[in-house]
Amino acid sequence: MKSVRYERLGETVHQETLPNGLEIRVVPKPEHARKYAFFATRYGGMDTRFQLNGKWLDTPAGIAHYLEHKMFDTKEGNALQELAKNGAEPNAFTSNAMTGYYFDSTDHFDENLEILLSFVSVPWFTDESVAKEQGIIGQEIRMIEDNPDWQIYVRLLRALYSVSTARTSIAGTVESISHITAETLYDCHRAFYTPSNMILTVVGNVDPERVSRLASRVLPREGGPAVPRDYGDEPETVARRETRLAMEVSSPQFLTGWKCLPVPEGEGRLRRLILGDLACDLLFGESSPLYQRLYSQGLINSSFGGDFEQLPGVAYLYAGGESKEPRAVAEALQQEADRLVREGVEEDFFRRTLRASFGSSLRGLNSFENIAVSLTEGRFGGYDPFRFPEVFDSITQEDVLDFLRDNVTADRAVLSEIVPKEA
């Protein structure tokens, strides 16, 4: 295995690509007893349309999440129970762009890793078990649809995007999942759960070579071809300027978002990610003048916050929370972004914000989960996330202001509101 040393971080990453295309990343932590394994496929909620064996397939919304649920079923029983019997804490998640399976353990690591790699690689579905799962996931969907936080977020994405599959709910709808069959699940597994589309990342007290040998023994000898995907040809303009829904809430909630310019895969994505995070901090972070002014006026409370996101082919920045006057807060955010572009940021505040953001990235290395997920996201996005110190070194105030000038503009803004139902 090749070793890459990051002196400024005090970390070493051992990496290898197996003949079947699987990428392995191991970050040894000999001073810890814990071991964390993360096995991920580049397949998420956005991947509903793809090409398999030369034919384009349109699959139901929510199928990646559905497949994640079903993967724990094995011919012998349930992999979750097997892992738990060995003292591991297993789980999984599906995001827009990936599905990840993981466990945390101190003992029986090799055995647990073998279970993880086996059940993710060898699907077992029956028509009966797939039909049964529809009821379980349908109930989950109904629950999240009753959640104002979920509604406000998914409605924000549907206001931002008219074509991109970023507007598709990861869980799908009760109607969309009713079309999922065992055959469809097998097709999706064949397309995306192939070693060449996957990454295994292990963090903790482990021997990198041992991890590599075990993966070589358990996983298929060959990886499948790259699968063309269609995320939709998204226009630059927003789909709609605002969306409003009445629900059982005690006070109005909102998210205002901006449709940002996407960045192709490669090292530029890491730089853009850091610029987006800094733009959030300078514009509406807790130390920013705007946050303090809005808070003192009672227009926002501790629920207020936001983030910058990059997904396949799209990017967006958003902020929000509870407010008695959502529209006033959204307008204030836009005015402040425009002001920063015109007048710049007080230099001392910029330096403090830069240092705080860098410190936050460093603290992220204390979490095994964060290390594994960021290495995986980086590899899928074509960048090395451990290069962040060098990126921070190169960023100037003008770079962040350019980001705001290009992305956080009135014509790119949308407002998503949830308001109390009238009595």
CATH for 323? 3.30.830.10
Question: Tokens 């939709």 correspond to what residue?
Answer: 232
Cα–Cα distance, 77 to 155 (Å, whole number): 39
Q: Do 60 and 202 share a structural domain?
A: yes
Residue at 228 is within a domain: no
Is residue 233 domain-resident? no
Cβ-based burial of 237 (10 A; exposed 0-12, middle 13-18, buried ≥19): exposed
294 in the same domain as 249: yes
- Considering its fold, how many domains does the chain have in total? 2
Residue 68 known to be catalytic: yes
Confidence category of residue 423, pLDDT binned at 50, 70, 90: low
Instruction: Give the tokens for residue 62.
Output: 């929510």
Residue 28 falls inside a structural domain: yes
Residue 413, domain member (yes or no): yes
User: Are residues 284 and 203 part of one domain?
Assistant: no
What is the reported pTM?
0.95
- Same domain for 281 and 383, yes or no, is yes
Instruction: Give the count of beta carbons closer than 10 Å to the beta carbon of residue 375.
Output: 24
- Look at residue 225 and tell me if it is in a domain: no
Q: Indicate if 250 and 102 belong to the same structural domain.
A: no
Q: Are 172 and 141 contacting, i.e. CB atoms less than 8 angstroms apart? A: yes
Domain hosting 14: range is 2-146+165-218
Average pLDDT, the chain: 96
Residue type, 221: R
Handedness of CA 369, 272, 355, 289 (dihedral sign): negative
In whole angstroms, what is the distance from residue 218 CA to residue 121 CA?
9
Same-domain status, 105 and 209 = yes
Q: What is the pLDDT of residue 169?
A: 95
The answer to whether position 286 is within a domain reads yes
Which tokens belong to 46?
């956005």
Whether 119 and 206 share a structural domain = yes
Decide if 152 is inside a domain. no
Position 25, amino acid: R
Q: Give 247-266 pLDDT, tens digit per residue.
A: 999 999 999 999 999 999 99
- Which of 16, 68, 82, 417 is labelled catalytic? 68
Q: Is the pLDDT of residue 177 over 90?
A: yes
Residues 140 and 249 in one domain: no
Mark whether 196 and 269 lie in a shared domain. Answer: no
Domain check: are 180 and 327 in the same one? no
Cα diameter, the chain: 66
Q: What percent of the chain has pLDDT over 70?
A: 100
232 is a domain residue: no
How confident is the model over 299-310, as a mean pLDDT? 97
**375-412 tens-digit pLDDT:** 999 999 999 999 999 999 999 999 999 999 999 999 99
Is the pLDDT reported for residue 163 higher than 70?
Answer: yes
How far apart are alpha carbons 248 and 56 in whole angstroms?
42
Same domain as 274, residue 204 = no
